[in-house]
């Protein structure tokens, strides 16, 4: 049934705190801070800049995110930039980046986002499962462990390293009953026939739900919190469909103008959603498990 996710997620204590971390990693003095969430704090420095400081919740999380942001940011061109916050420093616990002032989503920004995602994906990766340069192989998607193991064949790699490990974990913790698992296992067996035309490894954001797209005050869309790796480009787009995205029709139009998708890609959305649904089942429970089982059944019936 594939590898089992056995790595423990170890939560750090607060240690030196976000202001001290920002000062240490930027070489500036922190003059103020404003908590945003449990893990995020806006920290103002003595040069007037306000940066975002994020506390990693597990070993290697901050390093993986920093490497992912840098890898994504190198994908665009001057005309079609992939906008990500600049990384100002990180260690094993803390990540310091630019703060992206919030705006409102718009259709022009959505079309530009589609064009940027096409540039990101076509920038490519060495293999399916490749981590970002300098990034750890033992990475995370949200708080779930994600192993970046390389493979040359997408259907085999997707089954072995993106579907079956989370299925096994969901069965082990009782979120999916053992009698329900075979439908997902059958889908994995049939992936070579269901995956559509072969594609080269794409450079993926890897956790592209709407919450990781920031609509900036500058009128552009920015990508944050990646679980970056080499994968199939339809997986990123399927995740945007799964959790919704403002002006998604414009995002897709912008994408297809730059890099048309293979015929039948809409029929494969559920197949690509199986990975994030199983991750969410492991993290958040039965509701997502039921969605994963439904997606697998629907894909098998096509």
Active site residues: 207
Between the alpha carbon of residue 302 and those of residues 175, 236, 264, 269, 271, the distances in Å are 26, 21, 11, 12, 11
Contact call for residues 173 and 101 (beta carbons, < 8 A)? no
d(CA 27, CA 121): 35
Cα–Cα dist 76/232, whole Å: 18
The secondary structure of 6-62 as a DSSP string is: ----PPP--TTHHHHHHHHHHSS-EEEEEE-SSSEEEEEETTS-EEEEEE-SSTTHH
Please give the structure tokens belonging to residue 13: 């204590």
Smallest CA-to-CA distance from 297 within 169, 194, 162, 144 is with: 194
| Count of CB atoms situated within 10 Å of the CB of 42 | 16
Residue that is written with structure tokens 């590898």 in the block: 3
CA dihedral 24, 142, 255, 242 (to 10 degrees): -150
Cα–Cα separations (whole angstroms), residue 203 to 47, 136, 158: 35, 16, 15
């Amino acid at each position: 049934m594939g590898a089992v996710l056995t790595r423990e997620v170890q939560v750090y204590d607060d240690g030196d705190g976000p202001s001290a971390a920002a000062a240490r990693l930027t070489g500036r003095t922190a003059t103020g801070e404003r908590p945003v969430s449990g893990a995020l704090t806006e920290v103002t420095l003595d040069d007037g800049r306000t940066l975002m400081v994020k506390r990693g919740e597990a070993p290697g999380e901050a390093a993986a995110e920093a490497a992912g942001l840098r890898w994504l940011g190198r994908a665009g061109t001057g005309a079609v930039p992939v906008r990500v916050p600049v990384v100002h420093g990180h260690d094993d616990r803390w990540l310091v980046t630019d703060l992206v002032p919030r705006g409102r989503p718009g259709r022009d920004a959505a079309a530009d986002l589609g064009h940027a995602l096409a540039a990101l994906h076509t920038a490519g990766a060495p293999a399916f499962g490749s981590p970002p340069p300098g990034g750890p192989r033992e990475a995370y998607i949200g708080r779930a462990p994600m192993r970046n193991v390389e493979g040359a064949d997408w259907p085999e790699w997707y089954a072995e390293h993106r579907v079956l490990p989370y299925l096994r974990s969901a069965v082990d913790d009782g979120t999916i009953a053992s009698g329900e698992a075979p439908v997902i296992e059958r889908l994995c067996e049939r992936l070579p026939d269901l995956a559509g035309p072969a594609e080269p490894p794409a450079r993926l954001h890897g956790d592209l739900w709407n919450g990781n797209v920031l609509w900036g005050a500058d009128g552009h869309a920015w990508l944050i919190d990646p679980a970056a790796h080499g994968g199939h480009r339809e997986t990123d787009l399927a995740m945007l469909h799964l959790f919704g995205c403002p002006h998604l029709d414009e995002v897709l139009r912008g994408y297809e103008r730059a890099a048309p998708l293979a015929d039948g890609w809409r029929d494969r959305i559920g197949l690509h959603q199986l990975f994030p649904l199983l991750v969410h089942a492991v993290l958040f429970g039965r509701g997502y498990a039921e969605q994963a089982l439904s997606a697998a059944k629907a894909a098998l019936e096509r």
